[in-house]
Each structure stands twice: as structure tokens, then as C-alpha cells.
Structure 1
Amino acid sequence: MQGKSNTQGKRLQRGRCLLGVIFILMVWTIAFPQKADAAVLGKDIREGDVISLEAGSWSENYAVLIPDTTNIGTEGTFLMMDGFKEKIMHDETGRSNLWEGSTSQQWCTNYYRKLPDAVSSKIIGVKTTDTESGSQWLVVSNIDGTKTDKDKVFFLSGKEYLEHTEAADHSKGYNWLLRSPGSDCSVYADYIGVACNGAIHNFSIEHVMAARPAFNIRLPHDVCVKARTEEDGTTVWTVDAEAMEHRQDTASYTWSKDGKECLAEAKCSRCGEAVRESGEVKSQVIKEPSEKTDGIIRYTATFQNDAFTEQTTELPLAWADFKDDTEEPLKPEKPVIKSGTEVEAGDYVFMGEKNPIGYSGMPYWKVLSKEKDGTVLLMSEYLWRGNGNEAATPPAFNLHRSDGNEWQSSLTRKWCGDFERLVLANVEGLEIKETTKSDKHIQSPDDPLIQYAARENILNKEKVYFLSAEEVLKYMPTRGTRVAYISDGKKTGKADSWWLRSPRYQSEICSGRVSSDGKMLKHYVDELSAARPVFRANIDKMNFEVQGTKNDHLVLAAENSGMEHSFENAKYEWSSDMKQCHAGGVCTTCGAKAEADAEVTSRLTENGTKYIARFRNPNFKTQVKVISGEKPKPADKALKNGGKYTVAGDSYKVISAKARTVALVKAKNVKSVSVPATVKISGKSCKVVQVKAKAFTGKKIRKVTVGKNVKKLDKYTFAKSKATTVVLKTKALKKSTVKGCFKSSKVKTVQVKVGTKKQNKKMVKTYKKVFTKKNCGKKVKVR
């Protein structure tokens, strides 16, 4: 009878567990909706798509759980098998439902070890402690794949499944394993899994379940995709793990007739995808025209994509087109306009009467919070004086101590009402909301003897008011954040104290205030402190112009507000080649930061080359510099087959101008020589694919690093060289292309550094068969 009772209790407990998990799943789905448009790989890959990875004859399909981050939020891609590999028990020994030491963990480790090198070498090991307190399962499922191959591959936790239910649930009709333990391992050795209907459920650790491995992988930002197909409404991307990077063909460049635009294009030889970019074009007059002869103007195009190289073209410049218009102002840049719905907590907003009669201050507001209904709470960034009649004097809380310290009957409450009417009433689109609120009893964090009394409905439909002690601690918890300044509209003045609306506890003659150094203290009601008004408003119908940043938040001004920046102390920095000029400054009025890059033009003058930097941002002034004695750079010579060039002390010979390939003829005499992958000659990027005989005869040379594009080392390449160590970054060398390269040399060691440890290990085996004494002319150690 007792055994039957235990069985029924166990079933009842499991039933309750299932209901609890379903409820959590419903709550989680509402509170944390799935991402609809995550950052992409391959431009279009999204959460829920399938990546079909291939490596030789091996292939496997994986569901994309997160395209742009790992399961712990770092850079990478989070994948899980779409379908399952086989069915296993969580723990064949029947002893534990923990992940560590389980059959599940060992299965995942073996799965990782069997993956092709092209896949396993890109897997990112992560360390995480599952935090699932309050759920129906235990918090003891931890993974650490950072040190060994264990836990590089793993099963999802219960929490991860709930976060990625839609993406992970492609394959239905079977139960599959998670890594989280069950809810009561002290009595039942359970763990949780996903039932065939998609719900989380408790299972016995000896229950046979499907294995769906997951892992984090490092993929290129833009994956080279072999094919895209649709299967049952799911997008499947086929990717060769050994060729994930785009391989761009030789780029082509198209100039406009006037030389002011240059379009670059290169296609990937693997997938056919075209990459295009419109270059940034700058001009330079290198020969002034006369009334009888044309001059020459050079246009230079630069590109952000590494697939494209700098391009130049020269065009005739007619006398009629040559005029000194460099100092004419540019068309100002269009301001960025944001709707009031886009304003966020922490932003700064300028709106209100700029020079209100009878007040001293500036209507410049900080957004303290944004409520669920879209309204924002705004606090004056600077302090105010005056009462609508007299601008010089800060207000008193009340005229006499006998008037008491209650907000509802205070002079400051009337001050706020007048302020709203005279400063804020005419702001178009601004809807100030009435506020009713009770304040809590609060003790000052700066003086334990000072406390502020609780009051019910201390605010009763006010529109503009002062902060309470409770609100100050909420929005400005540290003393430094409470310091406020008087502003004269041009620059920040000295710090001053400001009133709170909270009365001092067990006192009728003192009200709360924040001192000039940010301490929360008290003040007699008939004494003077500045005003710092606050109000809650709906600004959805308003538009704001973005005017810079302050404390990493936007500074905005209501359209047509008339707010003017003052960047009198702006700094201007020229680049060493005089092609760029950067401006930056802080507004002395509101503290906003602004930066801008100039459009730089140049022309020859009698005194040298004149550089003019003009800004579209009207806050920055045109800058002019003249470099005396400077002459225009000569035009680049065309790249020719067989041409010889010296770059950074190294000598090169052009093998093919069309293919842009060169050979290193003679390296400069330094201790450590590096043969680069590419070298720039005549403004064009060329691959270094060959090294000529006796290239390293310099007396100082002891170590040579061979770049990744080198395909051939000529016979006697290292002859008469004192180099003893050669480092290979290239995978392209063969027996036929290194024959006799070490003859008459002192080379002892060849180090292979072509990529990851696994890739290096693989290439060491290959190169031991290539760099034999019979083939390369000298016995060397390959490692």
C-alpha cells in the first residue's frame, strides 16, 4: 500500500511540475518576446533559420538560435542540431541527474571530437552557470568549455530552451534531452527534457531520449553561402566550413566623367555575390591652368572595404573652371530630427521661454524617467531665481516661519504655478500632466539627524513642482549627481542650494533642501534657496532637433526653439598628410558635445600649398593652412610587367601587372625580416607570391617570416644568408616550388604558423614531406 501511495505521490508531483513549467513558459513568452530581427550573418540569416554546414563529405544541419552572439552574450553564433543524432540515456549508471560526469556530457564531448577540423577549430568554448532560481528545476547545471574539449558541445538548459523555443523546435515527434536536473533529485533521479509536444517535462535519467547537440561557433561577419533554399517554410543556408570567407576577384573601378565619383565592384569567386562601394573622393589641383593652357586636377578615391585599393585619376582643368571658390561656405548639413516618442531617460531637452521676464535661468531639462504610458519626467538641469517680477533673488519656501513648512500652503507651490504659466505654457505640442502623489518618510543619507516627514497626497493635481526627498534618492543617489548650477544662458556659474518639497520631520519651520555640494539637508522656510522645477509631460506630438551629446545621452532642442550653441573653444586637428581635419568641442551653454569632419580641398599658391577645411556643421569655422615649399606629388607610374620597385627598403619585381603579383628580390638588412602578404606599388595592392634567389644576404638577418601568399621559393633563395629560422605563414608551398631553396644556407628550423593549432599540426605533417634534405638542399627541423 505504501509503494502505491509513493507512486501516486510521484505522479501527482510530476503533474504539478508540468503545470508549473507550462505556466512559466507562458509568462516567459509574454515578458520576453522572441527577437524578430537580430543582427545578421551573410546579410540575411536570421534566428530560426537553418545553416547546413559542409566539410568534404561531412554535412550536418543546425538551427540558428542567436545569429550574432553566443549563449552567454559574447561575439559568435549560437547553433543547435536541427533534428537529432541518436537516442541515449542521460546517465547509464542510474546514479545522478547532474550534468557533470553524465552520459550526456560524455556523448557531447565525443561528438565534438568527431567533428571535422574546419568546424571544431571555429567552436568557441564558453563558461556559464545556469541561473534558474525560482523555476521547477535545480540550479546545478554548469558548463565550462574554455580549457579542454569537454563542454565545447553541450545540450540546452531549460532556460535556454524557453528563450529559443521557436528556433529550437523545428523537429517534433520525439522527446529530447536538456542539461538541467529535475526538481527533486533527493527522492527521484529526474532531469528535464522536451516532450514530443514541445513542453518541458521531468524524465527518468535512464529514459532513452534524443540527443540534440548545441555549440557556439565563430563565423565570419558576412558568410560566403553556397546555396539558399526553402524547406517547409524554413530558410536553409548551405555553407562550406572550409570556405566561409568571401574570395574577391580583382576589383573594377568606374569613374564618372567629372571625376567626382568612383564606384568599386568585386565579385566573390565562390558564391558570386558582388560587393560595391562608392568611394570618398577628394580633389587636388596639381597644375594651375592659364588662359592659354589647361591645368591638371587629380581626384583620389578611398574605400572602407579592404577589397578595394585607393584610386586616382587626373583630368584637364580649364581656365574658365578655375576659380578660388574654396572659401565659399558649404551647404549646412540637415539637422537630425527625432519625434518626442524617441526621447529616452537620460536625454537632455531644451524647450520653453528662453529669456522669461522676471526669471534668471535656462529652460534646459533632463529626462529623469520614461513611464509605460509614454510620458516623461523632466527636471531642470540648471537652477532658477526670480519670481516672475524680480529675476535676481532666489525664492523662499515661505515668507515667514510662522507660515509653516507644508507644501500645499507654501510660496514655492505658487512659484511653480507661475513658472508653468510664464515659461512653459506656450510650448507647441507640450502636454503637461497633473500629478497627485504621496511621499514616504525618508532619512537623509548625509546627516542621520535630519529626516523628512511622510505626507499623503502632498501633490494634488500639480503640473510643476519640486522633487521630494524620496525622489531625489531615487533619481540622484550619489552626492555628486545632486550638485546643480546657476546658468546665465552662456556659461555655467557657481553651484547653489535648491529646495525640496518635503518638510523636515517633527518640525514646522524647516523644509528639505540640497546644499551646493550635493548634501541632503534642511533650511528655514524664510531663508533663500534656488528653484529646480520638475514636471511630467506627454511630448509625443513634438519634434526635436539633435544637437549633440552630453554624458553619452542625446541633447535635443524643440524645433524652432531658438537654442544656439557656443563652441568658442572648439579644437581643430589636421592629419599628418593634410587630407583630413577633425573638429570637436563642448558647448559652453548646455555642455553638449559635437564633432565633425571637414571637406578638405587644396590648391597651389605662390607661398606653397593652401589647404582649406570646411564644415557643414555651422558650429565650426573654416580652417586654412598653408604649407610652404610643398610641391604636388608626381602621378603614380603605371604598373608594368618586369618593373622593379623599392618599398620600405625591400626590392620587388612585377611578375604580372594584370594579376598584380610580385616577387621579393632583395630584403632590407634587419635582424627579423617579414615577407608581406601584399605590398602597395604605384597605388595598387599587389600579392607577394615568390621570393628570388639570394634575397636574404644581409649580414644582420637571422629570422625570416614568409607571408601567406608566397607560392614559390626559388633555388638558392637562402644562399649566403645567415638566417637560421624560417617561419611559414603560407600553405601554398609544394615540393616543386621549394626545390633547392636552402642550398648554401644556415637555416636549421622551419616553424609552421598558418593558423590554429590543429591547422599548424596538419601542415607540419605536410611540410615534413616537402622540406626534405633531398628536395630543398639542406636538412632542417620542421615543427
Structure 2
Amino acid sequence: MEPQTPPDALKGVGPTTEDGVDGQITGTTTAMEWSADGGETWKNCTDKTTTVGATGSYQIRYKAAEGKYASVSVTVEVPEVDYAPLITGIEENGVYCESVEFTVKDKNLVSVKANDKPLEAKDGKYVLAPGKYTVVAADETGHTTTVSVTVNEKHSLTNVSYSWNDDYTSCTANAFCDNCKKKVEETAVITTKITQKQSCTDVEKTEYTAAFENSAFKEQKQEKETKQALGHAQGTDDGDCTTPVTCTRCGQVLIEAKAHKFGGELQSDVTGHWTKCHNDGCTQREKKEHTPDIAAPTEDQDQKCTECGWTIAAKLGHQHRLHLEKVEAKDPTCTEDGNKEYYYCKDDNWYFEDENAQKHIEDTSVVTLPATGHDYSELTYTWSDDNTTCTAVLSCTKCKDVKADEKVNSASKVTKEATCTEPEITTYTAEFKDPTFAIQNKEAETQKAHGHHYEEWIVDKEATVTSTGSKHRVCEVCKDIEIMDIEKLPPVAYKIIEGADGTYTVNIDGTYTIRANGEFNKFVNVEIDGKVVDSKYYTAKSGSTVITFSKEYMDIYSVGQHTVKVNFEDGSAETTLTVAQKDAGKTDSGKKDTGKTGTGKDSSFGSAKTGDNSDMIAWFILLIASVCILGSLRAIRKQRR
């Protein structure tokens, strides 16, 4: 075994990524191996460059080979490298369309700007809208990475191909952008329209339309035969030669109609008489009703047709129904027999249940209904209107015949005294001498409830603007307690007593101050245009309630009118604030008189007025001048007269 010379010309290269795990050693070959743990374990090297990992010391040696020992290892240091921010997702002078996302990796990253304007990452990604940009990423050590890119408004698609699937349910447009070379693909929404309906002689044709959301892709249309012609469907021959045989779908005549050929022997049945049609396949008959020789058959004569001799109705023979007398039904009573309804043939003394003599009564005794006899089982008790008497009656349940009766005076007793809510109840008792009748008791209301007698209302909780109150009162008799809500108080309409209807000029005026006449200890918050203002943007103090908005906050509002509302626990005060873009009138100091100071502090609250005051003074001076001119003109006219 021979020794090997240790490797040389090796160099460590520091990590280039944020996580620092891609450190390398250059000058390696596949005959070498490396160790990161002082020679405990070894891994194979790769040709020219081997990636080992983080910054640190590594051992490199030649591996043992046939007839050779492994060489002595040499130590190679992988240094720390302070690298510039790494931008991925975009390339220098790259061209993109619609938008582009990119990431920046640097453990000490300070800022990412596009055209000197800071960018904010969302979910670790930065997005560039259409435009031309110079992107600069900088870290704490001063390293920067710059990439220039162009983002077009949309793709430039000039060479578009369209492909339909076999059944025309899908159409896909494909194109490569002329600028960014990105493949743009869209599968269209397919709508169908039948352009030719299927019929007996015509095929069905369907037009397929592919509509794309991307305006660069044009609407595509394809027409296809989707169903074959049906062919005629011959209808059923109805056996009448005067009606044609047609197609059941389109109605086209397949067998022409023709006239009947009636004639031959006259045939008859119970329904009438007729002759047949002699055309092939026709089953129709020329049929007529029988013509009777008499209106109806009699007991001894048939009714016949005068044309064909058919017996329409045979003679009747003796007919009980022609000789019946009706006996009305009569209910039996307690003392007399009754009978069922029946019919009596006077010619042969036969009895029948019906007027048509179909149901013969052989045993005539069944029509008799025997007397029922009395049923004295109905007991009734009737009280007088004032409940002082009660009458008992025992009668027949059927005929109401009275078997016994008795009237007695009642005894009375108050069984429940009247209260505030309950009436007085008196029980009346009636006792009879005849043991047939039972003792009767009846309760009646003899006095109404007294009703409550309440004391004066006692307020338990005063009502406020935000909550209802409550009160109660007590009945002097039964101590019942009645509780009632007290309605909320109406909100107090406070006023802005200083700084109302003011004007604020953006980037010129200082603070904006108003004063409301509500008590400061009831102050809640301030709203502008219906949104509560964060307290960090204003100061509030007593006297009555003074609100001063900061200049920085006021400058964010758009030009126009805004509603300012000061909220208190029991009401609110409201005014209008006009925000102006430029100076509409200045004071001697060159600033509009808005009741604000340039430092954001009140010089005196009495000066908390708006820029509208200068306009009011001008109008007032103009009014006085007009009055003076008119007075002078009138004086001159009088002198001339």
C-alpha cells in the first residue's frame, strides 16, 4: 500500500443565500472526500466544486484507492460572506405583462423601492403594476441590488391558435406574448344554438359559439349536424276512408281521402239500423236510429221500428208499477203504532218497498212499527233568574209527558268573599221532598271584584337619554305591586357656540378649534362624516367643551363640506366644516383667519373663528356703501325738484 500526497489548491467560498447553507470548496475532484466533524464521518466530493454548507472549518483528503492509503487531510476554511440582497422573480431588463411578483432575500434587508418609492411586501412577495421600474433593494451594510424591468398593461397576442375538441364542448385559445414570451391560454365558455331543427326531412344543425374573457381572443363559431332526419311516421288508419292518413310528426298526407260508398242490405241491432261502406279498408257505416211505431210499449203491444221491423221494446205484460199507491211512513209514538213507507198494488194486493215495484214485500207485517211506550228517565232542573227557586221535572225522553214535578225555594250562602281581583261567589242549595229529585247546588257571582286602590307612583330609576327608567305603586288593600317603564329622555340638542360653519385651508392653516356648550364631564367623542375620530388626532378640554384638531389630521381631508359632530352622554352638537384648497382671503399676516395658530396651539380661544369672517366684513362694507349711494341719489333728486 502506498501513501498519497495531500490535496492542494483548495479554496473556501462563503455562503451566498440568506439561510447561509450553500458554502462551497473549489478545486475538488471525485477522488476526494470531505468531513465537517473533524474526520468522524466523510462524504464524497464532486468535480471542481463541492457544496459543504455553513461557514466553518472542513477537512479534505484523497479517498483510499486500490493499492493506496487515504491521504492526510488538509483544513479548508469556508468564510463568512457579506452578500448583497438577492432579488428573484425578475431579471435585469426583463419585460413582463399585466403584473409581476418578485421576492427579496437578505437577513439585514432595510428597504425595497421601485422608482425611489417604497414597496410593501404581501405574503413575502412584492408586486409591480404596469410601468417601467428601477427596483433597488438595500440592506443595513449598505449593499444594494438593482434590477430594471418593464411591465406592460397587457399581453401582445398576435399569433393565436384555436382548437376544438371532438364534440365541440370545449374550445381553447393559445398564444405566446410577443413581449414577455409567456404562453397565454384560455378555455372558452361554450354556448349552443340550434340553427336548423330536426324534422322528418331535415337534419338538426347546431351552432357552437366560444366566447373568451381575454379580448385578444376572438369569438369562434362552428356549425355541426347533431341529429339525422327523422323520416315520416305513418299514423294509424282510423278505418274511415274520408279522412287521410298523415305523418304523425309533420302532418304530411301519406294516403289521400276519398268519398264513402254506402249501400247493400240493411242491418239492425238494438242501437239502430245501417248500411256499410264498400271501399277497401273502410269500416264506417251509415247508421240511423230506429223509428218507433208507437211512443212506448204497452202491457199488451210491442214497440217496433217502422223501417227495419226491429222490436225496439217488447210488450210489458202486467206492470205493478203502473197500478201502485204510496203509503207514507209514520213514526210510532209512545202509545200508537206506526208504519214504514211502502207501495200497494190495488189490482193484486201486493206490497213493494219502492215506486218501481222492484222489491216485493212478502210478509206485510214488517211494515208495522209497534208503539214504543214511555221512557220516564229525563230529569231537568230549572233555576229562576234570581236563583231563589228551583223546579225539578221528570218526563218522558220521547214525548215529553210529565210524570212528576216539584218547585222549591233555595237557601243561599256566600262561599267566597270579593277581593280586588276576584268577585263574590254565593252558593244556592235546593232540596226536594220527592226522593226522585237530587239536591241541587249552583254557584253565582253576586258582587263584582273591588278593583285595586293604588297609592302614588314611586320612581325606582330615573330615565336617561340612553336607558329607560322604572316606577312602581302598591295597592292599599292587597299590596299588589304594579311596575311600569319610564320612557327614555329625548337627546339634548347642544350647539357649537364657537367655530361653527368654519373653513379650513389645506397645507396653510394650523389647527382647527370648535367649542360646544355641553358639559365636559359628559363628553364622549367626536365624529367627522359619521366616523369616530381617534383621540390622538385632537385635544379636548373643559370650557364648556373645547375640541382642537391637529394640523396633520386636518390636512388629510378632501376639498368640500364635511359634517363635524360632538357627542355627549345625553346628546350631541353638529356643525359644517368647509375644507378649501387655496387661500380665498388673507389677513394682514398672510394667513386666513381660521381661529387656528401655525403651531397647532390656541393663542386665545376667543379667536377660534373661521376664514368666512373676512367675507362677512366685506359684504357688510359693501351693504353700507350701497345705502350711502342710494341716500345721496335721493337727496340730489329732491334738490332738482
State if a TM-score over 0.5 links the two structures: no
Larger Rg: 2
TM-score by length of structure 2 reads 0.21
More relative contact order, 1 or 2 (CA 8 Å, 6+ apart): 1
More strand by share: 2
TM-score by length of structure 1 reads 0.18
